[in-house]
Amino acid sequence: MDKLIITAAICGAEVTKKNNPSVPYTVEEIGREAEAAYKAGASIIHLHVRYDDGTPTQDKERFRECIEEIKLRCPNVIIQPSTGGAVGMSDEERLQPVELLPEMATLDCGTLNFGGDEIFVNTENTIKNFGKIMIEKGVKPEVEVFDKGMIDYAIKYAKQGYILEPMHFDFVLGVQMAATARDLAFMIDSIPKGSTWTIAGVGRYEMPMAAMGIVMGGHVRVGFEDNVYLSKGVLAKSNGELVEKVVRMAKELGREIATPDETREILGLKKR
């Protein structure tokens, strides 16, 4: 079993300081939260960025500022920008951080209901175009899937040459698909042999899914984007606290934590 890769999704695009005062907005706050997660054991920082008032943005220059701040604090960490952005953004907006040539970026493989009237749209042409551009720029996609059908799309587009194999999947459960051991096992059994995977449980499912990911040989994502609580009713003081909890669980379950360089080896990344 590979060492455990921990990804910290430090702020997302939807959660705010009203949900948890520690959610980062400013460049300094984003750098601080990334550093806390890295020092606790995260090797990947999944990155959305905000303006200082908390408004989500995909602006390339804001990403550049935040990436530079993170690299000053933790030079070896892997930074994984989101190309999901926020609901309602255009494809052109969403793709901007890929121009900075990160080692990885996310690639959402389907449209989903995101709550209320909000729909997160990823058409077939969007997915193909994002995948093609990532191949051209040498950026490894983390294939974001919220249900089994999105895995099927990813496999289809890989066969057509829009996603390179072996693929790395992020199973986001608790939004469109239930977050249970049955559902996670079904997702794992549905991906091609040789693929790697991370589990991200949303809300109260974060830590139960993390524990399952540890024992089932996958990798784990935690952070304020998905959940702002350390335990029921107790707000996490930082992303670092959430990562520390995963590290404790992994230690109890006999799983070692991967460093950023070990993560690069597991995922086939080339440091830039």
- The partner residues of 8 in beta bridges, in order of sequence, read 45, 222
The yes-or-no verdict on residue 104 having pLDDT over 90 is yes
Burial class (CB in 10 A: 0-12, 13-18, 19+), 266: middle
Rounded CA separation 120/68 (Å): 29
Q: Give the tens place of pLDDT for each residue, 63-94.
A: 999 999 999 999 999 999 999 988 889 999 99
Q: Give the tens place of pLDDT for each residue, 155-205.
A: 999 999 999 999 999 999 999 999 999 999 999 999 999 999 999 999 999
> Helices (H), strands (E): how many in the chain?
9, 14
**Residue ranges covered by each domain of the chain:** 6-267
In 3D space, the residue among 203, 207, 219, 209 whose CA is nearest the CA of residue 180 turns out to be 209
The yes-or-no verdict on residue 272 having pLDDT over 90 is no
Q: How confident is the model at residue 42 (pLDDT cuts 50, 70, 90)?
A: very high
Where do the H-state alpha helices sit in 124-174? 124-137, 148-159
Residues sharing a CB contact under 8 Å with residue 123, sequence separation 6 or more, in sequence order: 111
Half-sphere exposure of 16 (CA within 13 A, CB side): 8
Q: Rounded to the nearest 5°, which phi and psi values hold at 144?
A: -85, 125
CA dihedral 140, 144, 147, 150 (to 10 degrees): -50
The total of other beta-carbon atoms located within 10 Å of residue 227's CB is 24
What pLDDT sits at residue 85?
Answer: 87
Q: Give the tens place of pLDDT for each residue, 125-149.
A: 999 999 999 999 999 999 999 999 9
What pLDDT sits at residue 259?
Answer: 98
Rounded CA separation 206/200 (Å): 6
Alpha-carbon distances, residue 178 vs 5, 20, 206 (angstroms): 23, 25, 12
DSSP classification of residue 203:
G
Return the CATH fold of 6-267: TIM Barrel (3.20.20)
In one letter, which amino acid is 223? G
